[in-house]
Structure 1
Amino acid sequence: MKKNYGKKGPFKGQQTSHANEGEVRAKKHLGQHFLKDENVASKIAETLSYSGYEHVLEIGPGMGVLTKYLLKKETDVHVIEIDTESVAYLQEHYPPLRGKIHEKDFLKYDTREVFGKDQFAIIGNFPYNISSQIVFKMLELRDQIPEFSGMFQKEVAQRICEKEGSKTYGILSVLVQAFYEAKYLFTVPPSVFNPPPKVDSGVLRLTRKEDFSLPCDEKLFFKVVKTAFQQRRKTLRNSLKTFDLPQDIKEDSIFGLRPEQLSTARFIELTQKIEPHAV
């Protein structure tokens, strides 16, 4: 299980951290930080209910510190890992994963190759530099993902779970909470990683709502939320100018608010007001 921080890709002259014989080296040029605390790994494994689906996909297992606890559950475990050295380690040390280790980039991977149309949960110690992108892809797959849990940079995990009225409340908060119940679970200190990062991590759980369909056009909802927060200090009347709405619509009091003042429900209401006039 690993974390990636900072820049992507290898750079000449950068070093790797020390690893015991037979272990995967945490490569500095990839910004890898391996979780070494068994208690934390066990706690993360317990964040899923393992109910209502048969498959679990772990993103970025590294040396399998979380994987070993997932394999104890009565579930079909698959892992996706882009680091070749980690893949080789998992193949050697985790025979139950035979045929279930996918050496792919999750962001570019078509999960239907493995799961078809089946429901599956996602869990992992997510690379910081792509953690938001992982969440956006999860939202695209929401019809198949009833549960999602794992570790992020603390500030990102808190932002996803934040409610309206906060300066950290934003696009991820609204879009995730439109379809999922989001709960921040616990904070993880840098000391449980090798090498330790410079920031705290946070573990969250997302549970899909029983009714996760929206009473408005979903593509328009995404567009309204993203456009509104691109100029979050402006009122919606100004930040949504590109929608070219009739003046009488913009006189509605909701357009006098800033995006951080709107709950997910009110963003749905806003989308419903815009929908008849959207091109």
Structure 2
Amino acid sequence: PGTGILTKLLLERKSLSELTLIEIDTESVEYLNNHFSDVRLRVLEADFLKTNLPVLFPNDVALIGNFPYNISSQIFFKVLENRNCIPEVVGMIQKEVAERIAAPPGSRTYGILSVLLQSWYDIEYCFTVNETVFFPPPKVKSAVIQLRRNETTALDCNENLFFKVVKAGFGQRRKTLRNALKVLFGHIEFDHPLLSQRAEQLSVSDFVLLTRLFEKEA
């Protein structure tokens, strides 16, 4: 939340019942406590990445913020871990990361975060934020992205293996999956058209199918 520019706008919404700020910087926490006295607001001095969200928020919680660019990917992996209690995310992040998350199969920017987040969220790239609106201006453009939880409750495969297959597939993204997945499975005995493709060519459902194929072979 920093100095609370977004906080102020959120508190202007009368429909807002509760707002929790998680801020790691002690001086910022002190500033926020001194400048906001709304009864709907609580300010926590904590590291978001180390926060136990289900304990902190017994009910579902929407996540909104201008995310620190150096940990934005880690924040989204945290969202994945807590996907059953986070129905919606709206965040401003580096433009390249937003494009990667929203990228479709076949795109050069399509990657691990694309597949994993799109497995459980519908993703919308909302708009680009030019660097000139900041002072001092950063060296990169920004973007606002929205994630809304889809209807998937569980994938039709072993989800732990699914994560491993996706990460290994993109670990050597220029190789076909038959070669890229040797790091997980060694020599692959069976044949399937998906193994002749590269990871960036597969949709979420393709990765689910591929994971099931390896489950059967195990």
Q: Which residue, 23, 34, 48 being the options, matches 1:92? A: 34
Tell me the distance in 2 between the aligned counterparts of 1:263 and 1:180: 14
TM-score, L = length of structure 2? 0.94
Which deviates more, 155-164 or 75-84? 75-84
In the alignment, residue 274 of structure 1 is paired with which amino acid? Answer: F
Larger helix proportion of the pair: 2
Q: Which residue, 36, 44, 65 being the options, matches 2:5? A: 65
**1:98-134 alpha-carbon deviations (Å, 9 max, x no partner):** 8711111101111234212x10110110111100000
**Residues 104 and 110 of structure 2 are in contact (CA less than 8 Å); yes or no, is this contact kept in structure 1?**
yes
1:11 matched to which residue of 2?
Answer: none
In the alignment, residue 233 of structure 1 is paired with which amino acid? Answer: R
SS class of match (2:83): coil
In the alignment, residue 114 of structure 1 is paired with which amino acid? Answer: L
Matched, 1:191 2:132: yes
2:200 matched to which residue of 1?
Answer: 260
TM-score, L = length of structure 1? 0.74
Change (3 A) 1:247 1:87: closer
Identity %: 53
Tell me the distance in 1 between the aligned counterparts of 2:136 and 2:113: 29
In the alignment, residue 124 of structure 2 is paired with which amino acid? Answer: K
SS class of match (2:5): coil
Tell me the distance in 1 between the aligned counterparts of 2:26 and 2:40: 15
SS class of match (1:194): coil
In the alignment, residue 146 of structure 1 is paired with which amino acid? Answer: P
Figure out how many residues of one structure are paired with residues of the other and give that number. Answer: 216
1:41 matched to which residue of 2?
Answer: none
Alignment RMSD: 1.5
Q: Which residue, 49, 71, 86 being the options, matches 1:145? A: 86
1:204 matched to which residue of 2?
Answer: 145
Deviation at residue 245 of structure 1 after TM alignment? 6.2
Q: Which residue, 8, 24, 27 being the options, matches 1:82? A: 24
SS class of match (2:62): strand
Matched, 1:169 2:110: yes
The runs of 4+ residues in structure 1 deviating greater than 3 Å are: 245-248
**Residues 122 and 148 of structure 2 are in contact (CA less than 8 Å); yes or no, is this contact kept in structure 1?**
yes
Change (3 A) 1:156 1:97: farther
Tell me the distance in 1 between the aligned counterparts of 2:137 and 2:54: 35
Change (3 A) 1:100 1:264: same
SS class of match (1:149): strand
